[in-house]
Amino acid sequence: MALSTAAAFLPLPAPAQTISKGSEPAVQERPLEIVKSSFARVMEAEGKQRQVEIRRVTEQLFDFHEMSRRILGAHWQEGSASQQEEFIQLFAEMLERMYLTSIASIPRAAIQFEGELIAGDYARVSSRIAGRRGDTSVEYRLVDHDGQWAVYDIAVEGVSLVSSYRSQFTKIIKKDGFPTLIQKMKDKLAKGDI
């Protein structure tokens, strides 16, 4: 769960946008700008509005279906369509709660965006977050879905959020099955153990 805690201190990406002017072709916003502008949107919001903005951003940019499919890997097919949908919703809520409880502790000046790398339909945006114990490298991994960039993974110090959760969730599924994983996620959310 150390990765989960570290991921909770990450800035949120902004919604992917396509900009068009009149009859000109649409120009897709670059991944780096999406991430930077989202962090600004969340940090500029105050009080309860920040929570509203975090929810809006998570819904608009994160591709929870893609993340969920990657997290469960070969076990994705073990769940029924309704179980898969429930998993996606529970995972989205878990990730959102992590941000809601910790995003306020990051000063805007603490993050430095270093650049982006685009390779076809995939992109990586690299950043560093300054902290009391030194800098933490954070990489956003995005995929282009029909002209919209969406985050499908985040790596903290090179450790993938998707891989970390895959390891944890695979153990549960192998031992107790897909329905037990769903119930454990519900229990964690109900207790506020995020």
pTM as predicted: 0.80
Provide DSSP, 80-114. Answer: -HHHHHHHHHHHHHHHHHHHHHHGGGS-GGGEEEE
Let me know: does 122 contact 141? Beta carbons within 8 Å.
yes
Backbone angles phi, psi at 44, to 5 degrees: -75, -25
Q: Contacts from 118-126 at CB under 8 Å and sequence distance 24+? A: 118/30, 118/31, 123/31, 123/149, 124/31, 125/31, 125/32, 125/34, 125/35
Q: Cα 73–76–78 angle (5° rounding)?
A: 130
Q: How many CA atoms lie within 13 A of 153 on its CB side?
A: 19
DSSP letter (8 states) at residue 62: B
Range with the poorest average pLDDT among 6-20, 24-38, 87-101: 6-20
Whole-number average pLDDT of the chain: 82
Contact 99, 9 (CB under 8 A): no
Tell me the pLDDT tens digit for each residue of 93-140.
Answer: 998 887 655 665 677 678 899 999 999 999 999 999 888 888 989 999
What are the structural domains of the chain?
A: 2-191 (3.10.450.710)
